[in-house]
Amino acid sequence: MDFINRILKKNRARAEYIKFQEQYFFQNISSRQTPECLWIGCSDSRVPPTIIAGSEPGELFVHRNIGNVVLQTDINCMSVIEYAVCVLKIEHIIVCGHYNCGAVQAVFDDKADGLVGNWLNTIRDIKQKHNVFLNKVRDISQRSDKLSELNVIEQVYNVCNTPSVKKTWEQGRKLEVHGLIYNVHNGLFKDLKVGVTCQHGISEIYRSAIFYST
């Protein structure tokens, strides 16, 4: 029970601190949420979105999974995107990968088995797609980090092709999709220049981002 007691103690201390800093914080935030951004990131414990993005509670609507993957067949991810853009009317979606990603490394090491191994097939396919380029990168960790970048670009492309995102653009509503990579060595983001603002831009921006990255 020590672990749970530690969590409860830290939670009480945090709530007290927030109330001390801003008396009506919880009253203000409890009625409804109006986040401006959907964040799709990796489950890795070193990349908590709200903290690395310097955001406050209420600012980011979050979906995380192993390897920040966006699959049309993943009802969880598709529901999150649909709710974010159709109900919350979010105007920005960020796909954020990170360097030193265990999911990406597992694809190179051919290590993951069971369900995770199955889940990583998407990243395995991306590695296969860009194999010629990746094999030219001599340094092993740089090769893995490059695949992390390519994975983000591919997942941005997948986000842009989801029914709810396409519908939002068809209705003429503002929606921007961005791709970032987080450097766990220095805590900084790199913009992968794959920002998409409408249906027509997808292919061109995807191609130039892949070109820029490779």
| Other CB atoms within 10 A of residue 146 CB | 20
Contact status: 181 vs Co ion (CB under 5 A) = no
Options 37, 77, 96, 101, the catalytic residue? 101
Contact status: 101 vs Co ion (CB under 5 A) = yes
What's the CA angle centered on 59, arms 206 and 15, to 5 degrees?
Answer: 145
Rounded CA separation 68/39 (Å): 10
Contact status: 149 vs Co ion (CB under 5 A) = no
Give the interface segment with Co ion, choosing from 29-37, 39-47, 157-165, 185-193 (CB under 5 A). 39-47
Between 102 and 202, whose beta carbon lies closer to Co ion?
Answer: 102
Between 66 and 210, whose beta carbon lies closer to Co ion?
Answer: 66
Give the one residue of 35, 40, 44, 80 binding Co ion; rule: CB under 5 A.
Answer: 44
Pair type for strands 188-191 and 60-65: unpaired
160 is catalytic: no
Q: Rounded to the nearest whole angstrom, what is the least distance from the CB of residue 183 to Co ion in the complex?
A: 13
With both helix axes pointing from N to C terminus, report the angle between 163-170 and 140-160 in degrees, rounded to the nearest 10.
50
Amino acid present at 68: N
Contact status: 145 vs Co ion (CB under 5 A) = no
139 is catalytic: no
Between 30 and 45, whose beta carbon lies closer to Co ion?
Answer: 45
64 is catalytic: no
| Other CB atoms within 10 A of residue 158 CB | 20
Options 42, 77, 96, 160, the catalytic residue? 42
In SS3 terms, 23-67 reads as CCHHHHHHCCCCCCEEEEEECCCCCCHHHHCCCCCCCEEEEEECC
| Other CB atoms within 10 A of residue 134 CB | 19
101 is catalytic: yes
Between 81 and 101, whose beta carbon lies closer to Co ion?
Answer: 101
Contact status: 42 vs Co ion (CB under 5 A) = yes
Length of the chain measured in residues: 214
145 is catalytic: no
Catalytic residue annotation: 42, 44, 46, 98, 101
For Co ion, the binding residues (CB under 5 A) are: 42, 44, 101, 103
